[in-house]
Structure 1
Amino acid sequence: MANASTGKSKAQSVAEVEDLEPAVEPVLHASIYDDLRRRMITGKIVPGVGLSTRGLALELGVSQMPVRDALSRLAAEGAVAIRSKRKIEVPPMNPERFTDLLDCRLLLEPEAAVQALPHITPAKMKQLREIDAALDTAMENGDVIGYMEKNFEFHFALYRANNRPTLNRLIETLWLQFGPFMRVVYGRYGTANLVDQHRVALDAIEAGDADSLRRAIAGDIADGMGLIGRTSWS
């Protein structure tokens, strides 16, 4: 009886594993995609450095398949260019692409912030202030990666309060395309002299002033993208 019970338990375990396997692969692919997406947005992947499917797979401890799938998705979003199996890179910036990205950000992000305004709770306000304080520390310390991570967290903690996931996903796609270049620019110019438009935005949120919030977000975009504009496209 014990052996039969044990055999049944093993059979059940095998069945459970088999049931789980189809669900594991999409979750893994999504995880790798989200990881690489976050790296690009926060400047951990920079222009001029080739991406290796094999190298990324080894670094992440996975097979090449989910990495290849993630890179294909990023290519469809304009974040990387796949020249061949061995040549994958951030596509170069040029005046036309820069203007397009800037115009789209100025069109979407101030509106996303204003639409979030009615949904900012005291808890959300506290979170935004904490992120901004950490961002200030990164600026003072010249911590470029830390600054970019906190800048991303601040903007999307604000935008996601608007309950407009499609709008926010479109904005993330824009961030994917300029994030690598911001990393280069901040590395060149530093962070100490950046204007903290986030404080202006926080004051506007506190006052419930939609017009001031819209101007603060537009000013923040113009300051950051303006640094890219001052940089040689090469």
Structure 2
Amino acid sequence: MNQLVGKKPEHEAIYSEVKELILFGEVAPGQPLTIHGLANLIGAGVTPVREAIRRLTAEGALESLENRRVAVPKMTVEKLQQIQLVRLSVEPALAELGAKKCSKSDFSELERLDGLVDQAIQNGDIRRYLEANYRFHFTLYEKADAQILQRITESLWLQIGPSLRVNCGRFGTSNLVDQHQEAISALRNGDMDGVKQAFEGDIQQGMDFVRQALDE
């Protein structure tokens, strides 16, 4: 089981494991899944996997199909537009709230995570890029202690992650521009507007990257 899950109650650990499969694009959009198939994939019992599927379906990360199967929903232009609208409204504000509570040790952790993002881009390691990018954003978001905003953001990342993985596989990571350094520099300078602008640019880049395939 993924070591990032950590020590949690079994049902929470299984939920996190299935969530990360979706979040980091290990399950392709439209790919049918069954409870038993997922249970075998992650080496877990059927009951906690069933509960994880129920929760993730309620969060919009999965949709129900016939014959008790589920799938990651396919992305559409209309859905992407809505996701972009909410992300650009919520996440820069969440980043600003988190930035106001950051310490020097938090700056160092963000620098470390940004280094992992850069390394993954250089190596063309899509899974590690998606994971490190997620950890960077949510390390700052969690500092905000704004649970409603964070839940909204988590749901949107679950919906966009699989499509981002597909596009990275199609176009590679070489064209991705890491804008995290601008955010970190703004953080160190206490420039909250700079933090918001850097996150807006980073989010817009990711959304444009997904739209690139939908427009073709």
TM-score (norm 2): 0.92
Contact 1:42 1:149 in 2 (8 A): yes
Counterpart residue number, 1:68: 50
Alignment of 1:13-32 (within 5 A): 27-32=9-14
Matched residue of 1:119: which SS?
coil
Bigger helix share: 1
Unaligned runs of 5+ in 1: 1-25
Percent of aligned pairs sharing the same letter: 37
Contact 1:82 1:88 in 2 (8 A): yes
Once the two structures are TM-superposed, the CA of residue 60 in structure 1 deviates from its matched residue by: 2.5
What letter is aligned with 1:185?
N
Contact 2:56 2:62 in 1 (8 A): yes
Contact 1:93 1:233 in 2 (8 A): no
Runs of 4+ in 1 over 3 A off after TM superposition: none
Matched residue of 2:120: which SS?
helix
Q: 1:122 is matched with which residue: 87, 104, 113?
A: 104
Matched residue of 2:64: which SS?
strand
Alignment of 1:137-148 (within 5 A): 137-148=119-130
Counterpart residue number, 1:22: none
Unaligned runs of 5+ in 2: 1-7
Counterpart residue number, 1:159: 141
Once the two structures are TM-superposed, the CA of residue 233 in structure 1 deviates from its matched residue by: 7.2
Once the two structures are TM-superposed, the CA of residue 86 in structure 1 deviates from its matched residue by: 4.1
Q: 1:177 is matched with which residue: 159, 166, 170?
A: 159
TM-score (norm 1): 0.85
Number of residue equivalences: 209
Once the two structures are TM-superposed, the CA of residue 117 in structure 1 deviates from its matched residue by: 1.5
Contact 1:92 1:233 in 2 (8 A): no
Aligned counterparts of 2:88 and 2:14: Cα–Cα separation in 1? 30
RMSD of Structure 2 on Structure 1 (CA): 1.6
